[in-house]
């Protein structure tokens, strides 16, 4: 069996989208599953859409996610962009500069499998508009197909603006087998004579991708569903060159909750946003692997190594997969629970500081206690400020929910609050001993028990009758904060 070689070949047109990360992941998992190699190639021939800094962002996002590149463009140990491998350069614009595509386009032209096209964009647009009006599929009408090659070459030499188009055979079925979708057939009459070289001399995606995949020895092309309709042109190009075509695997579309494409254009699903929200790479990768692929078991939590061991395209769905944020939170929450308290403290601190609830000087021991208190409820690190904000907010900015208001308006509540305030006067600061014994002392004094004891105190201090360990809240908030909070409740409810 030949050595499996797959590639992820994005364009540097902005931040990496979650759909792109899943494509990279499925390539990576298949390479690891088969003992093959994964390449990263940058397809930047569309210079109009190039975004400064997008390449660095892409590489950092892949590194963060744990997807390791074997060959191609990558970051070195200093975080600088570098290239590694024998098939380089791995950036298409650099391949253009080296003239790599020139001999292949010349070969197609000389063999009559491609032709120079001198039509202006204005003429092409008019033709397509008329075709639409006539109820036809809009495509190039082939005006320049019949220009003799010598005449075309003279016009090119004279500096006339031109493109180079693929000359598809007339009325011929092109069939290929997709590893997920099965046998797919297109007729050439429904296809356009694709532009292979643009007016600026740069190859189009459709031409460069075939040449590069062949020269880099790619055995399996794993990409998004949107490329299915382009694949016949690629298959025909392989045939025109006399090369063996790779296997094609088109992944199901990632859908939003409305079952529409989870689109980069709508600003949905940038990997950068998930990183900023405090998702863990293990959680996001585990979730993405299950987005369109199902293991041969009921398990849902996997390490990258376990995913690679089980992954195969035979268990990838044919239909689109819905991106369910609640499921992502559930999966990611599993990894949050596995962190040590020290690790979680380190992770949530930037979010707590950014929220303005604490500053850099906030005591480490209190932040650790806060992390331990809320760990079972945190699904992503940015949850920490929202969950714990009532420990820090000014009393006037607090919100007490309906159950809490009901609990603190009772006669019992007034007695409990007074008792708590009296005990606070006896200490300099709340320590662990005070926090763990105060409620027993209040119960003994007032004779109030059970939820009639706990609900009013919790409600008064935290704004809710539900929540994690209350004694932890006492320590985190401290004497002065709790004293202020209880006096505020006394005066305002």
| The pair of three-digit structure tokens given for residue 354, joined into one six-digit string | 């950014």
What is the DSSP code (8-state) at residue 13? S
Collapsing DSSP states into helix, strand and coil, what is residue 1? coil
With H, G, I as helix, E, B as strand and everything else as coil, classify residue 321.
strand
Q: How far apart are CA 354 and CA 358, in angstroms?
A: 8
For residues 152 and 476, give the distance between their C-alpha atoms in angstroms, rounded to a whole number: 80
The token pair that represents 94 in the structure block: 């650099």
DSSP state of 279: -
Helix, coil or strand: residue 310: helix
Which residues lie closer than 8 Å to 171 by C-beta, 6 or more apart?
Answer: 187, 188, 189
Tokens for 307, please give them.
């995913």
Residue 409 assigned as binding residue: no
Instruction: List the beta bridge partners of residue 173.
Output: 187
Q: How many CA atoms lie within 13 A of 238 on its CB side?
A: 22
Which residue numbers are catalytic?
264
Residue 42 tokens, joined: 């940058």
User: What is the C-alpha to C-alpha distance for residues 81 and 444, in angstroms, rounded to an integer?
Assistant: 68
Tokens 């390791």 -> residue: 68
The whole-angstrom separation of Cα 225 and Cα 292 is: 12
DSSP structure class, residue 330: H
**73 - beta bridge partners?**
83
What is the rounded CA–CA span in Å between residue 4 and residue 96? 26
Tell me the three state secondary structure of residue 192.
coil
Tell me the C-alpha distance between 60 and 55, whole Å. 9
Peptide bond into 133 cis (omega under 30): no
Burial of 314 (0-12, 13-18, 19+ CB in 10 A): exposed
CA nearest 221: which of 250, 242, 186?
Answer: 250
Among all chains, which residue has been given the structure tokens 């495509």? 139
Residue ranges with strand state E in 136-212: 163-166, 173-178, 182-187, 195-197
SS3 call for 222: strand
List the binding residues.
264
Return binding residues for ATP. Answer: 264
């Amino acid at each position: 069996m030949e050595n499996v070689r797959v590639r992820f070949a994005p364009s540097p047109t902005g931040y990496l989208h979650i759909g792109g990360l899943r494509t990279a992941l499925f390539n990576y998992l298949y390479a690891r599953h088969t003992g093959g190699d994964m390449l990263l190639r940058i397809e930047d021939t569309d210079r109009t859409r190039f975004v400064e800094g997008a390449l660095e962002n892409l590489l950092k996002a892949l590194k963060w996610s744990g997807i390791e590149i074997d060959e191609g463009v990558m970051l070195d140990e200093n975080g600088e962009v570098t290239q590694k491998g024998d098939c380089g350069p791995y950036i298409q614009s650099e391949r253009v500069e080296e003239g790599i595509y020139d001999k292949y386009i010349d070969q197609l032209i000389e063999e009559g499998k491609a032709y120079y096209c001198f039509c202006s964009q204005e003429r092409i647009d008019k033709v397509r508009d008329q075709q639409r009006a006539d109820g036809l599929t809009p495509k190039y009408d082939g005006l320049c197909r019949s220009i003799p090659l010598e005449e075309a070459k003279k016009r090119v030499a004279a500096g006339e603006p031109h493109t180079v188009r693929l000359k598809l055979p007339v009325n011929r079925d092109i069939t290929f087998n997709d590893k997920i979708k099965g046998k797919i057939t297109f007729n050439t009459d429904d296809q356009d004579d694709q532009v292979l070289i643009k007016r600026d001399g740069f190859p189009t995606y459709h031409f460069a991708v075939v040449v590069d995949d062949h020269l880099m020895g790619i055995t399996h092309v794993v990409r998004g569903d949107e490329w299915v309709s382009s694949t016949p042109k690629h298959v025909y190009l392989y045939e025109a060159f006399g090369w063996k075509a790779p296997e094609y695997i088109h992944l199901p579309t990632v859908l939003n909750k409305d079952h529409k494409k989870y689109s980069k254009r709508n600003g949905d699903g940038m990997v950068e946003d998930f990183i900023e929200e405090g998702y863990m790479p293990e959680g996001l990768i585990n979730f993405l692997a299950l987005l369109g692929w199902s293991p041969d078991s009921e398990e849902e939590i996997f390490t990258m190594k376990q995913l690679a061991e089980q992954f195969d395209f035979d268990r990838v769905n044919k239909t689109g997969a819905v991106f369910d944020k609640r499921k992502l939170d559930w999966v990611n929450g599993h990894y949050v629970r596995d962190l040590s308290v020290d690790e979680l403290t380190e992770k949530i601190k930037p979010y707590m500081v950014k929220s303005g609830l604490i500053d850099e000087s906030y005591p480490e021991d209190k932040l650790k206690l806060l992390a331990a208190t809320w760990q079972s409820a945190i699904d992503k690190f940015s949850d920490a400020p929202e969950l714990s904000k009532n420990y820090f907010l000014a009393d006037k900015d607090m919100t007490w929910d309906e159950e809490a208001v009901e609990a603190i308006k009772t006669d019992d509540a007034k007695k409990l609050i007074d008792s708590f305030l009296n005990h606070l006067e006896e200490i300099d600061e709340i320590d662990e001993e005070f926090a763990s014994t105060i409620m027993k002392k209040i119960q003994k004094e007032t004779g109030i028990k059970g939820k009639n004891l706990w609900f009013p105190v919790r409600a008064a201090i935290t704004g809710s009758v539900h929540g994690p360990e209350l004694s932890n809240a006492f320590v985190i908030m401290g004497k002065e904060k709790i004293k202020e909070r209880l006096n505020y409740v006394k005066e305002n409810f």
